[in-house]
Structure 1
Amino acid sequence: MLTLAGFDTGRIRNKKVLLKDFVSGTLEETDMLVETSSVKLKLPEDSNGVLVKNIYLSCDPYMRGRMSKPLFRSYIDSFQPGSLMSGFGVSKVIDSRHDNFREGDLVWGIIGWEEYSVISSPESLFKIEHTDLPLSYYTGILGMPGLTAYAGFYEICAPKKGEKVFVSSASGAVGQLVGQFAKLMGCYVVGSAGSRDKVDLLKSKFGFDDAFNYKTEFYLNGTLKRYFPEGIDIYFDNVGGKMLDAALRNMKTHGRIAVCGMISQYNREEPEGLNHLMNLVTKQVRMEGFLVNDHYHLYPKFLEMMIPLIREGKIVYVEDIIEGIQYAPSALAGLFHGINVGKQVVKVQRTKLYDSYAYEYESLYT
């Protein structure tokens, strides 16, 4: 029988998000299922892992690719039908059999989409040292999206002061940071987004020089010529498709394109082709895709730059936080319907109006 005194050795409810089946077409909330199981709050003696209580889950566009039937070898395995989904998140260690972690440590990294996770190989987890900043930041500005923006802009794009920079999906988790990095470099920056409110946010909150709603622009080549009459030095691509094709036509000689993602293509059965790749040759443009996995060695250097910028208010970040793991499916699906504003985060537990002791008591018996 479970008792409060036996909390550390008993079992506790564990809500989790499963993939129903391989997804074809646009991702919907109903493609996922929330189930409840239980987990033991103590690791076996022979374990070399950690048991964590998950605090925040990160909703990221790349997860859509993991939900499709694997038709070719990718950089990350697909979820299997009926299996637990996983992604980046923030957690607290509640039991550890690993020498590098102890009870109470706060960490971020790949975790299960569930209330509690057993991480058998915790070497990939990052300890959170700067706990004075919001923990949710480690799903975004101080986590994988932040490092992605940093590596993609500074390492791949190699920016110079005064250059003309275009960022697509600019109000998202990565794009909002790329634009601010570019402004700190003294660049001219234009972003695209999917609503008037997001366009206003880019200009008023993130300091973009200009922005446009791609949904109301019917000739993207002309749109980019309007904002970049002399051409684009750097295009940070998050969407692919027609936007990438238009950018190729508007690049300057020796321009650079960092291909971070292609969210416009993830729900398509047949990806859109590109018609203007010859511009890579005639304008000597360098276009390079990249994965954040190759840049984790830069994380200490990244933090060294970012922490002071955040504390001094020189970099700002917008999050869209949904509370309750049961709403994780709708939050993830919302990315592909343009619902979120800023970085989409799921807070695993809904905010309680009473103290943590009462919360633990409720968790044991519900």
Structure 2
Amino acid sequence: MTPSPTPLLTVRDLTVDYYDQVNPVHAVRGVDLTLHRGETLGIVGESGCGKSTLVTAVTRLLRPPAVTTAGSVVLHPRDGAPVDLLRLTERELNTLRWEKIAVVLQSAMNALNPVMRLGTQFTDVLRRHRGLSKRAAQERAAELLAMVGIPADRLRSYAHELSGGMRQRATIALALACDPDLVVMDEPTTAVDVVMQRQILRQVARLKAELGFSVVFITHDLSLLIEIADRIAVMYAGEVVETGPARRLYTDPRHPYTAALRGAFPPLHGPRREIAGIPGSPPGLRTPPTGCAFHPRCPHRFAPCDHQTPVPTDDEHGTVACHLLAGPAPTTREDGRHART
């Protein structure tokens, strides 16, 4: 399915803080993203960069001490006016969950209720959101499992009776129960082997083509996103440092961090090359570096990087926040946040 230019989800200046007894930790800082209809948007970065915090904020699944302190998350449904998810009440939000937005969580074993049979979990969703009879819900549940290659008799199984791959595919089927417009997948293949990973990704691509939903896919594996994503957003230290078409980010990364991520994975095609890790560690978000957060690890660091925050620039290739492409010295606000243009 070719992505439409029509936006499905627009995230603007989203900021998430973790509060404790000392000072807030700025885990997500001023993120802007747009997801189009029929598109797969990949979000990539090292552990601790804010990927999962970002998507739990977008889906209103944050738990204390995390708090969304600024920004908007606007959903543009096919039927009805756009709605800011951050302004909805819990009752209003519950009508959109599963109907418009569904989530495939990172740990399938924790996502499925261990004391309820699989079929009960499917029928509860279908009866609540679709108003189906118990028999009709059971039939629909069997169809959903068949879509992901699981026999219908597994509806009587508990989560611990399923393999890791079956549990993961079952959570995907559960997310698709009410034909949502958007499916958020938070590292859905982390706990399975590479053979099952490929099977799951092929099934997701097939179901997306058949059903027409959009996907936000979170992972730390850039090479994986090159295969499945239309566009990629690269996160570092709570900020999006580069966005662009998947193939362009792989062949011509413009931010040094994107290039470093690419260099940390073996090439998908072509001659062998040496794999190089990224020196150092991601910064602690309680006391992040001044200027560009990546500058202590960046091989291209120069004077402005130490003390000036790069301003994201947009062009036909995407968005990048790096002094190497900024031209004249960028301006910053007094609080050190990006000066928006």
TM-score range for the pair, normalised by the shorter chain length: under 0.3
